Every structure is written in C-alpha cells, then in structure tokens.
A and B are shown apart, each in its own frame.
Chain A
Amino acid sequence: GAGVSQTPSNKVTEKGKYVELRCDPISGHTALYWYRQSLGQGPEFLIYFQGTGAADDSGLPNDRFFAVRPEGSVSTLKIQRTERGDSAVYLCASSDYRDREANEQFFGPGTRLTVL
C-alpha cells in the first residue's frame, strides 16, 4: 500500500565513480519511469519500462547511463564514470498503464545525487 520509494535519498560521490539508484514502484504498477530534475527545472524524461523491457530509452543522455528492471518490479538506474554535470535529483515514477483513462504517474521522493 506504500507509495513509490527510492534509495538512497542522498548520494554523494566523486567524479569518475559508479553509482546505482534504486526505485521500488507501487505494487502492481506495470509502467516505471525515470526522470532527472535539475534546480529550477521540470523533470526531464530518461527511460520508461513496461514490465521488464525498456519501452523508450530515448532520454538517456549517453551510454554512461543504464537502467534495468529484471523482474518487472524494482528498477535500478546505473551511472558509470560520473561527471559533475550528472548532479541532480533523480525521480522515479510508476503508473498502472492498463488504466488509460487516467495515466497519472506516482512519483517517489527522489534521490539527490551530488558529484564532487
């Protein structure tokens, strides 16, 4: 019954390091989305999963970014060789895509990533 959860809530890393961000969607939601939000901006789409497969990864900025959802539930966003420009809040959202009348997305609180 809980909402979307994301861990960690904050992540500080050094330039060049690898990080993993985790998202636990609402149980039963088939669709899962990752967005990135910089200060003063709206969320920017990264990738969308329908079940286990990535239905749209057109928002991933480059090949340092990768996301998986192996069992159709929890998803992990992976960033290799982090750069200072990757610093942002990474938001995860889920929705019950089958209910097309109201495709509202339920967002988690986000992970604030800081690359030093």
Chain B
Amino acid sequence: SQKIEQNSEALNIQEGKTATLTCNYTNYSPAYLQWYRQDPGRGPVFLLLIRENEKEKRKERLKVTFDTTLKQSLFHITASQPADSATYLCALEAGTASKLTFGTGTRLQVTL
C-alpha cells in the first residue's frame, strides 16, 4: 500500500541554522510533490510545489529537492527563525484527480 513517511519526532534547531525535513514515500509515482505549513488550530498553508521532472526548487529561504529514484523529498529552511516553528506536511499528487495524499507531518521548533 502507499506510504508516506515524515519524521514523527519534533525537530529542534537553533535560530539561524538550516532546518532539513525529510519526506519518503513507497508504492507511489507522484507527478507533483507539495509542501505545506500548518500552525495549531489552522488549516495547512501551501509553500512549494515541485514536479517529478524537477530536481530542485527555491522560494526565498525555502528549498525543496525531489529524487524520484530514491523516492524522497528534502525540505530546507535556511536562516531559520522562531516564526518558522510549525508542523510541515509533505503531500503527493498523482496528477489526475488532484487529490493530495499527506504525510503525518514533522513539527519544527526553532529556538533562540
């Protein structure tokens, strides 16, 4: 069955460092991979989308890589700030129906 794995344990890093979050998947061939941010009590907010034929995409302090051979995406936040503290969700999209299949999310805590 399809499975998407994200680090279930919280990631604690110091302000200014680079945070790296991992998303691994099995039994899936996504056309797109998306990353969302979710704060407590709120709905997810879209951050970045990367296509299956793209290796890397950047947006301001964010960088996403996508390796369809390893079936893995890495999400990087450079120069992290306490305001980056949230849960980050990866989501796969097959490309036809556009429904998203989400991972469980990784909680990031950035401390001063």
Contact = CB atoms under 8 A, between A and B. Distances in A.
Given A91-B43, A104-B46, A110-B43, A45 B104 contact: no
B99 A42 contact: no
Given A41-B104, A109-B41, A33 B46 contact: no
Contacts, number: 59
A5 to B, nearest CB: 11
Contacts of B36: 107
A113 interface: no
B49 A109 contact: no
A14 to B, nearest CB: 24
B104 A105 contact: no
Interface residues of B, number: 23
Most chain-A Cβ atoms within 10 A of its Cβ — which of B34, B43, B45, B97? Answer: B43
A108 B89 CA distance: 16
A95 B44 CA distance: 13
A44 interface: yes
A107 B99 contact: no
Interface in A71-91: 91
B98 A43 contact: no
Nearest to B4: A42
A48 B49 CA distance: 20
A102 B4 CA distance: 21
A4 B98 contact: no
B98 A103 contact: yes
A56 B97 CA distance: 7
A103 B101 CA distance: 14
B41 A42 contact: no
Given A59-B99, A107-B36, 4 more contacts: A33-B100, A40-B104, A91-B43, A95-B98
A-B pairs with the 3 shortest C-beta distances? Answer: A107-B43, A42-B102, A104-B46
15 contacts: A33-B99, A40-B104, A41-B105, A42-B104, A43-B102, A45-B99, A48-B97, A55-B97, A56-B97, A56-B99, A103-B49, A103-B93, A104-B46, A105-B44, A107-B44
